Structure 1
């Protein structure tokens, strides 16, 4: 398998409401200053989990504090009431839901970005310091390709494979597409420790969270035979198990929160695959409790 960009096609992911960037000097508007910025995350959300893992790998607890939100949003529009003041301060009469993840600017009380890939890149580029980079020089195109593969060839395909309204032939065709992607990854990871380098990169964060979602969310809408075929990729799931044992990954894996978020949002029918767990994630992770969301008095 060559890690090369796959063909682009429209994504079903929600477009980010804000997409500012942290720059290196005052001309950017948001220049890099320790403790100026704050993350607002729900690790039950895949993008929130990705950022939380990257944040831990980069050891940014003091440099860029993180506030953790409930698994299930408390607003009827699926937004978080705790984030509403930030959204309204950032866009007058903002009409949409106050969604996580959010990178906010404590100096202005406004949102910098809600776009997870940009947030991860800016944290790494401007605050990673002397630690090994999650985006090593020369690896950007490979990481982009892994991100597209995860979004388009695994997550979206897995969701389509579990769509209740699709016919059997259509579901089987989509499942075969998913299995081809997993098979290519399985062959690529045979004999490898990490996805594209001899160190953890953003590609590993992206793929690991995608595999977590596949096993904890998407399999609930697949039949048992399909889940067993998905599980039949030993190198791929062995890779997922090894990363789960890493403190920066496993510490943020809250299976109960993921389940509650899924059942609160999902209106699909549960299939027999729900009972066929691919990995015993809890057996391979050591979680430490994360602090719940706390409002910050900036007076």
Structure 2
């Protein structure tokens, strides 16, 4: 895949509270041992959804157990009280939010990482066992380009387009990004290879957020223009029907999380659903 239509764009991500890595041997401190590590996440959270999908694609239910968190954090600072003991055990007098997702070490009772991209890469690299090549050799730059494109060209552009008063330039950027993806996906089942990769997980989760969260703050005309990308939304629909994707799509949780966090005004686009996500995942067996 040429990354020309998915050119790298600058982006800034919140600094993770913890960013340890799972290594290859005992000298790394955190080395790969089945059932040593545990995930704590909510699939209503975009990062939690990404990790959950990767976890299922890799078949890691036994090797790395998951503790699911409620869609809406129960602490005023946006953290989860269930995670507070882990944070306090991992950092002396920790005062920040005990937020998910978290990869913890059951041996030490401490946090390894709260950085979602590192978590998914380490799970795939050290526990994948060849089941799914989510990060194919030689595709690193393409995967990273897709991550940046989703963060800036879709996520941030949609947020800015739906802000108070709207931002026409942001909507133009969003539509330009979706148009480039529409042209790229024509005749392709997946984004950068002939199989599902981490790039597909990234794009699919971003499209879920676009339709279930961001469209609520866009006018109906903008949402109709977003929906007018049949290849892109057919791609999202196909992945939603895959058990590793659809089984984790908590539509009620996403809605509750959005309403608990959002203080923006709802726009006419709320009534223009792009995909009937529930219908496309109805046959998927819930695995939680």
Q: Which TM-score tier does this pair reach, normalised by the shorter chain?
A: over 0.9
2-structure distance, mates of 1:273, 1:279:
13
The CA deviation string for residues 227-286 of structure 1, in whole angstroms up to 9 with x for no partner, is: 000000000000000000000000000101000000000000000000000000001014
What corresponds to 2:130 in structure 1?
Answer: 130
1-structure distance, mates of 2:189, 2:105:
37
Return the match for 1:259 from 244, 255, 259.
255
What corresponds to 2:21 in structure 1?
Answer: 21
Return the match for 2:171 from 165, 172, 175.
175
What corresponds to 1:105 in structure 2?
Answer: 105
Where do 1:1-299 residues align within 5 Å? 2-4=2-4, 6-11=7-12, 13-166=13-166, 171-285=167-281, 286-289=283-286, 291=288
2-structure distance, mates of 1:107, 1:240:
39
Deviation, 1:288, is 4.0
Q: Contact (CA 8 Å) 2:212, 2:255: kept in 1 or not?
A: yes
1-structure distance, mates of 2:40, 2:92:
20
Deviation, 1:41, is 0.6
2-structure distance, mates of 1:194, 1:165:
36
1-structure distance, mates of 2:234, 2:217:
23
The CA deviation string for residues 148-175 of structure 1, in whole angstroms up to 9 with x for no partner, is: 0000110001000000155xxxx22211
Deviation, 1:290, is 5.4
Q: Contact (CA 8 Å) 1:252, 1:287: kept in 2 or not?
A: no
What corresponds to 1:297 in structure 2?
Answer: none
Q: Contact (CA 8 Å) 1:68, 1:290: kept in 2 or not?
A: no
The CA deviation string for residues 99-126 of structure 1, in whole angstroms up to 9 with x for no partner, is: 0000000000000000001000000000
1-structure distance, mates of 2:118, 2:140:
13
Q: Contact (CA 8 Å) 1:39, 1:66: kept in 2 or not?
A: yes
2-structure distance, mates of 1:43, 1:105:
21
Structure 2 CA distance for partners of 1:137 and 1:7, relative to 1, 3 Å: closer
Give the aligned CA root-mean-square deviation in angstroms. 1.3
Deviation, 1:186, is 0.3
TM-score by length of 1: 0.93
Deviation, 1:62, is 0.1
Name the SS for the 1:264 alignment partner: helix
Q: Contact (CA 8 Å) 1:147, 1:203: kept in 2 or not?
A: yes
Name the SS for the 2:77 alignment partner: coil
Unmatched runs of 5 consecutive residues or more in structure 2: none
Structure 2 CA distance for partners of 1:142 and 1:7, relative to 1, 3 Å: closer
Unmatched runs of 5 consecutive residues or more in structure 1: 292-299
Q: Contact (CA 8 Å) 2:241, 2:284: kept in 1 or not?
A: no
Q: Contact (CA 8 Å) 2:10, 2:148: kept in 1 or not?
A: no
